[in-house]
Amino acid sequence: MIHGYQAGFEDRSTSRDREGQLVDETPWTRSLILRIRQERPVLLVALLIALIALAAGANKWVVLGLLLLMIITALWHAVPVIPQVPLESIPETVETAGSRLAEVTATLEALDVPVMVLSGDASVLYQNRAAEKAFGEVTIGAHISARLRSPGILDMVGETIATNAPNQIEHSERLPSERVYIVRSAPVDLDGQQPADERFFVVSFRDISEVRRIDRMRSDFVANASHELRTPLASLRGFIETIQGPAKNDAKAQERFLGIMLDQTTRMSRLVDDLLSLSRLELKSHIAPDQKVDLVPLLGHVRDSLVPLANDVGVEIALHLPQGKAEVLGDRDELVQVFENLIENACKYGHEGKTVDVFLKNGQGEPVEVTVVDRGPGIPAEHVPRLTERFYRVSIEDSRSKKGTGLGLAIVKHILTRHRARLIVKSEVGKGTSFTVRF
């Protein structure tokens, strides 16, 4: 039952009208009727006096005038009391329940969170558009179990209905795609207490799949980074212990070990540098760069800086540049890093091909493109989509032996995302690989 009181004038419902107490009046006429009711004894006495005066032979116009004056004075001074109408006496009609449901659902339709409204017997009275998109259409009036079969959700809803208290659980779905939701059921409190058969419950679904995915990525990343640092640290410790112990007086062994230790520390500092680069890039990933950068001199500079490494692995870097300028909007240092990583990889992993070609295309009306081509062993197709993941390597040993950190292409991807540019990888095992940057 609905408790509480409301002011009679404004809130009287049609059902009350049907009871014949106060019939469809304007506030002014309602006020007059209330004043007459209140002043009923005074008015009756006035009427009685008037009748006696008439019977005694008084002038009827004078009597009528005095009666009118008394009536006006009585009504003028009466202050109408607004009766407090206990709402228990108002039977809730179907229309009232309907309009209450509309009240509950009015704003839910605009939400991008899937929401359903249930009745006290767990039938679905309403679902918003987001819920329809996530779980498909539902027959209004059907029990919620016709739409959601998860025992966890059904138990939770049952408990909320029984106890009138909110509950929430985590629920995951595998089909059509893997999703994780925080599902919450809560009673809707419109006016305090409501009749058992007219209660509403809201069931909402907060999609936390993305949050979970990012959490997993973050913990994988921390695990990977620690693992990458742990290996060289363990080897450093081993060598220090050997130098302090068995090789204490072996100058030759000490020299060899110190050389390896230097390699390991260099590898660790490369890894830390790459990690810092990545986190810096993540911080500014939403700010598009706005410098004009000419790729012709930039590629020349990158090639020059990589000549020593190319010579070490016996590779020649051939640049194929167009006439004139090839300008793009970008950050010069970051673009240097992109092409350094791609050309260095081509030299390191494709050195068997002996040459690495770098093509710069700047066609009229076409996007500017840089393609780095090697004629090395190529990359098996199943690895290609994962190359830009952090720490992903086709062969860990091969990468480590070539001083790789497994972060080079992840950095390339981050920089290109910020530059709104694409990375296209084509590879054929036994023939070679091409990495194209399209601006």
351 part of the interface to ligand ADP, by CB under 6 A = no
Query: Measured from the CB of residue 346, what is the shortest distance to ligand ADP in angstroms?
Result: 5
- Tell me, what amino acid is at 186? A
Under the binding rule (CB under 6 A), the answer on residue 409 touching ligand ADP is yes
411 neighbors 354 (Cβ within 8 angstroms): no
| Contact pick of 108, 239, 406, 415 for ligand ADP (by CB under 6 A) | 406
Task: Say how many Å lie between the first and final Cα of the chain, rounded.
Answer: 68
* Contact window for ligand ADP (CB under 6 A) among 51-59, 104-112, 149-157, 404-412: 404-412
Q: What 8-state DSSP symbol labels residue 353?
A: G
Show the binding pattern over residues 33-72: x = contacts ligand ADP (CB under 6 A), - = does not.
----------------------------------------
Q: Residue 115 or 411: which CB sits closer to ligand ADP?
A: 411
How far is CA 426 from each of CA 7, 208, 419, 430, rounded to the nearest angstrom?
A: 77, 35, 21, 13
| Residue 324, Ramachandran bin (φ over 0: left; ψ between -120 and 50: alpha; else beta) | left
For 380, phi and psi rounded to 5 degrees? -55, 140
In angstroms, the CA 420 to CA 437 distance is 11
Q: From 354, 344, 399, select the one nearest 375 (Cα to Cα).
A: 354
- Work out whether 371 is an interface residue with ligand ADP (CB under 6 A): no
Rounded Cα distance between 198 and 94, Å, is 10
Q: For ligand ADP, which residue of 119, 194, 277, 345 counts as binding (CB under 6 A)?
A: 345
Smallest distance, Å, CB 396 to ligand ADP?
A: 8
Residue 404 interacts with ligand ADP (CB under 6 A)?
yes
Per rule CB under 6 A, is residue 399 in the interface with ligand ADP? yes
Report if residue 243 touches ligand ADP, rule: CB under 6 A: no
Would you state the structure tokens that stand for residue 413, as one six-digit string? Answer: 């991807």
Sign of CA dihedral 302, 308, 313, 315: positive
Select the span of 43-51, 150-158, 186-194, 399-407 touching ligand ADP (CB under 6 A). Answer: 399-407
What is the spatial distance between Cα 135 and Cα 143, in angstroms, rounded to a whole number?
15
Instruction: Name the residue nearer to ligand ADP (CB basis): 2 or 346.
Output: 346
- Interface residues for ligand ADP in 377-396 (CB under 6 A)? 379, 387, 393-395
Tokens 């899937």 label which residue?
114
Site membership for ligand ADP, residue 408 (CB under 6 A): yes
232 binds ligand ADP (CB under 6 A): no
Mark the segment that binds ligand ADP (CB under 6 A) among 24-32, 61-69, 285-293, 403-411.
Answer: 403-411
Report the residue number, 157 or 356, with the smaller CB distance to ligand ADP. 356
Binder of ligand ADP out of 349, 353, 415, 423 (CB under 6 A):
349
Q: Identify the residue whose tokens are 């020349």.
A: 300
266 backbone dihedrals φ, ψ, rounded to 5°: -65, -40
> C-alpha 130: how far from its chain's center?
13
Q: Which of 114, 187, 330, 350 binds ligand ADP (CB under 6 A)?
A: 350
Check binding of 330 to ligand ADP (CB under 6 A): no
Nearest distance, CB of residue 407 and ligand ADP, angstroms: 6
Which range binds ligand ADP by CB under 6 A, 141-149, 191-199, 299-307, 371-379? 371-379
By CB under 6 A, name the one of 128, 160, 337, 433 that touches ligand ADP. 433
**Long-range Cβ contacts of 351-354 (<8 Å, 24+ apart):** 351/313, 351/314, 351/315, 351/376, 352/376, 352/377, 353/315, 353/432, 354/314, 354/315, 354/316
CB of 397 to ligand ADP, least distance (A): 10
Stretch of 102-110, 175-183, 321-329, 339-347 contacting ligand ADP, by CB under 6 A: 339-347
Q: Strand, helix or coil at 12?
A: coil
Tell me how far apart the alpha carbons of residues 121 and 146 are, in angstroms, rounded to a whole number.
Answer: 13
The radius of gyration computed from the CA coordinates of the chain, to the nearest angstrom, equals: 42
Is position 87 an interface residue for ligand ADP (rule: CB under 6 A)? no
Q: Does 346 bind ligand ADP (CB under 6 A)?
A: yes
Nearer to ligand ADP, 16 or 393 (CB): 393
Interface residue list for ligand ADP (CB under 6 A)? 341, 345-346, 349-350, 374, 376, 379, 387, 393-395, 399, 404-410, 433
